[in-house]
Amino acid sequence: MAARKAFPLRINPEVYRALRGWAEDELRSVNGQIEYLLGQALRKAGRWPRAKQRDEEGRDGGERRGEEG
């Protein structure tokens, strides 16, 4: 696994509570939930490198969306 960058995050308490509840529902830590959501947003915005996406998902991003390719 790649090294992780640690940094402090200032976040609104209401946003944190919502994230914590969502993370619990998905059986993740709050940190894991934030990483998951950021990864989803990066892929959706086309900001995630395609090679990295294939490595992590084991397939092309188009297949992930149900596209053939």
Q: Print pLDDT tens along the chain (69 aa).
A: 678 899 899 999 999 999 999 999 999 999 999 999 999 999 999 998 875 556 566 655 444 445 444
SS3 52: helix
Structural domain contains residue 33: yes
Number of domains the chain is built from: 1
Question: What pTM was computed for the model?
Answer: 0.66
Structural domain contains residue 69: no
Q: Could you list the residue range(s) of the whole structural domain that residue 49 is in?
A: 13-58
Single out the residue of 31, 57, 62 nearest to residue 46, CA to CA.
62
Structural domain contains residue 20: yes
Give the model's pLDDT for residue 69: 41
Cβ-Cβ contacts under 8 Å for 29 (sequence gap 6 or more): 23
Give the model's pLDDT for residue 50: 74
SS3 54: helix
Rounded Cα distance between 25 and 34, Å, is: 14
Structural domain contains residue 18: yes
